[in-house]
Amino acid sequence: MTPEVLVFDILAVIAIIAGIGVVVSRNPVHSAVALVVTFVNLAGIFVMLRAEFLAAVQIIVYTGAILVLVLFVIMLVDMDDLPEFHGGAPLQRLSAIVIGLILLGEVAAAVVTRTVVGQPGPWNEETIAAAGGNVQVLGQFLYSGYVLPIQAVAIVLLVGTIGALVMARPDEITTRTRGRTTGTISLGHSRGADLVALPSGAPTARVIHREDMRDGLVMVTSADAYTEQAAWAGTDVPSEPGAAEYPTGAGIGSEENR
Partner 1 sequence: MGELTATHFLLLSAALFITGMMGVLTRRNVLVIFMSVELMVNAVNVSFVGFAWEQNSMIGQTFALFVIGIAAAEAVLGLGIVMALSRRADTVDVAEVTELRD
Q: Nearest distance from residue 242's CB to partner 1, in Å?
A: 29
Among 10, 82, 129, 250, binds partner 1 (CB under 8 A): 82
DSSP secondary structure letters along 118-170: S---S-SHHHHHHTT-HHHHHHHHHTTT-HHHHHHHHHHHHHHHHHHHHHT--
**Of the candidates 11, 10, 62, the residue with the CA atom closest to the CA atom of residue 35:** 62
- Nearest 5°: the CA angle 30, 33, 72 is 90
Please say whether the beta carbons of 47 and 56 come within 8 A.
no
**Cα(22)–Cα(161) distance, rounded to whole angstroms?**
27
Q: Applying CB under 8 A, which part among 167-175, 192-200, 239-247, 249-257 lies near partner 1?
A: 167-175
Amino acid present at 144: S
Q: Does 56 bind partner 1 (CB under 8 A)?
A: no
Q: Applying CB under 8 A, which part among 152-160, 196-204, 216-224, 250-258 lies near partner 1?
A: 152-160
Question: What is the x/- site pattern for partner 1, positions 194-213, by CB under 8 A?
Answer: --------------------
Q: Applying CB under 8 A, which part among 45-53, 177-185, 195-203, 215-223 lies near partner 1?
A: 45-53
Bridge partners, residue 176, by sequence: 181
Q: Does 28 bind partner 1 (CB under 8 A)?
A: yes
Nearest to partner 1 of 52, 246 (CB atom): 52
The three-state secondary structure class of 220 is strand
Nearest to partner 1 of 161, 222 (CB atom): 161
Nearest to partner 1 of 46, 226 (CB atom): 46
Among 146, 173, 207, 240, binds partner 1 (CB under 8 A): 146
Q: Does 250 bind partner 1 (CB under 8 A)?
A: no
Q: Nearest distance from residue 191's CB to partner 1, in Å?
A: 20
Amino acid present at 164: A
Nearest to partner 1 of 161, 177 (CB atom): 161
- Report the site for partner 1 in 214-243 (rule: CB under 8 A): 234
Among 10, 133, 147, 149, binds partner 1 (CB under 8 A): 149
Write the DSSP symbol of residue 240. Answer: P
DSSP secondary structure letters along 180-212: EEEE---SS-TT---GGGS-TTSPPPPP--GGG
Question: What is the x/- site pattern for partner 1, positions 95-134, by CB under 8 A?
Answer: -xx--x--xx--xx--xx---x-x-xxxxx---------x
**Max CA pair span of the chain:** 87
Nearest to partner 1 of 142, 244 (CB atom): 142
Q: Nearest distance from residue 96's CB to partner 1, in Å?
A: 5
Cα–Cα separations (whole angstroms), residue 226 to 171, 214, 216, 233 = 19, 19, 13, 17
